[in-house]
Structure 1
Amino acid sequence: MSEPKPRVALFVTCLVDLYRPSVGFAAIRLLEQAGCRGGARLADLLRPARLQQRRPRHGARPARPVIDAFLPYDFVVAPSGSCAGMIAKHYPGLFDNDPHYRARAEALAAKTHELVSFLVDVRGLERVAARHAGVAAYHDACSGLRELGVKAQPRRLLAGVEGLTVKELAEPELCCGFGGTFCVKYPDISTRMVSDKVKDIEATGADTLLAGDMGCLLNMAGRLHRQGSPVQVRHVAEVLADMTRDVPPIAG
């Protein structure tokens, strides 16, 4: 008898919901290819919790319905290292004075994953049926890299995409300058950081920029556009799900 398919809930992030729904559909396609079942669940309550993580009493309020909605599933997956990292690494700390929800938050944290790391590390996906002709540079978003260890996984799957060559940035781990509210609080520093990132991207000769976090992608797409660069910007899930012929690049 075959092993039952796990019930996986997709945490559709605020930026995916508002700016790039195709990433959510790409994630669903990839999860189905990896033998998962269960519909997508939309929750856009994470951003308030993230913005107020220094004030746990307030951050816990929007986190509770997220925990209640997603805890019944076998796994929770987000196409974003920052959102997955918030749930997996920071949610329990919001409930230091609430033992009941602290336990629930810890249980949810233990089964929450970034999308591509879930496909590779949990489901053992080794190859995708996708084609994308061209040369791509890959940016390692800070939260996914530093909090969740997402680095080799996207490169492993991208290596199997027909027609695609991946060129490494000189400094792939360097922050793009977005950082949530960082770009609002320190706009001059943020602009300098993303400008340096764009120089690195263009130096590779790549025609496409890929990453796994919409905040970073929107930030870099905007700077590329303002500087007149022809480099196209996409979420890595769209390439892995073979959706690039149907969905335009991320607008700057």
Structure 2
Amino acid sequence: MRVALFVTCLNDALFPATGVATVKLLERLGVSVDFPTAQSCCGQPHFNTGYRGAAEKLVQHTARAFADYDHVVTPSGSCAAMVREQYPRWGETSLASRTHELTEFLVDILKVTDVGAYFPHTVTYHPSCHGLRTLRLGSRPHRLLQAVKGLELRELPGAEECCGFGGTFAVKNAAVSTAMGQDKIRSALATRAEVLCAADNSCLMHLGGLIRRQDEPLRPLHIAEILGSTEEDPYRPEEPAS
């Protein structure tokens, strides 16, 4: 089976550790992962803001970049949702059917929930809107986290509420976006967890900014980095720049 990583532009530019963790995790499970260097943006920002012509060019480019693979795995629910839900508008049904968000690929394709991870911390999980309502990831992320050695999973109050990011929504409606994010952070703090986990770095970017500005004792972290951590090679947080 030929598997490609669709790292997404947000992860590539701002959260490269998520892409590295995804590859390490999949290789640990016996999957050989390719990284097509021609990949670019999936076109979601353009599509959502009405630039359909520009989106179409990116859709066609992305389809060509991943044409030769049986499965395309992405650590981004929002980008997976874009490919699955919108690419068929332009006739790209093949890529839509071959694209999987990471937790889907692990549970549905590899048929695993215990990936051999070790993460001795308390964690609460935020389900992103795309993962919750479009991809319908359901219990997959929870089942994976519950199988991690040393991890204590704490339920997030109001988990199904949006974090307030919403792409350009956060720019156009900054006050509302910030208020929604603060509500989500208060809920996460109420669990007394050390880590706020999600399967979308777009949500974590928004929440992480608020957490840092408010100096809260909570670390935002992508699920791939938790699942990629082992006793032999444990997760090590990056030190903030001085």
Fold-level similarity (TM above 0.5): yes
Mean CA deviation greater in 77-86 or 219-228: 219-228
Name the % identity.
Answer: 39
Given the alignment of the two structures, is residue 227 of structure 1 paired with residue 222 of structure 2, yes or no?
no
User: Structure 1 residue 245 and structure 2 residue 235: aligned?
Assistant: yes
> Alignment partner for residue 52 of structure 2, among 50, 53, 56?
56
CA displacement 1:196-240 (0-9 Å, x = unmatched): 001100001111110010110011111111112011111010010
Work out whether 1:118 is the aligned partner of 2:108.
no
Alignment partner of 1:7 out of 2, 5, 17? 2
Q: How many residues align?
A: 236
Give the Å deviation of 1:41: 2.8
Structure 1 runs of 4+ aligned residues shifted over 4 Å read none
Specify which of 184, 188, 192 is matched with residue 201 of structure 1.
188
Contact 2:226 2:235 in 1 (8 A): no
1:116–1:63 CA distance, 2 compared to 1 (3 A): same
Amino acid at match of 1:34: L
2:170 matches 1:174 = no
Partner residue in 2 for 1:217: 204
Aligned residue type for 1:84? A
Root mean square deviation of aligned Cα: 1.8
SS of equivalent residue, structure 2 residue 115 = coil
Match of 1:233, SS state, is strand
Contiguous gaps of at least 5 residues in structure 1: 1-5, 96-101
Is the contact made by 1:88 and 1:112 (CA closer than 8 Å) also made in structure 2? Answer: yes
Give 1:249 deviation, angstroms. 7.9
Q: Within the alignment, does 1:21 sit opposite 2:16 as a pair?
A: yes
TM-score calculated relative to the size of structure 1: 0.88
CA distance in 2, matches of 1:155, 1:192: 26
Which of 143, 156, 162 is residue 156 of structure 1 equivalent to? 143
With normalisation by structure 2, the TM-score equals 0.92
Of 112, 116, 128, which aligns to 2:115? 128
Once the two structures are TM-superposed, the CA of residue 86 in structure 1 deviates from its matched residue by 0.5
Give the letter aligned to residue 86 of structure 1: M
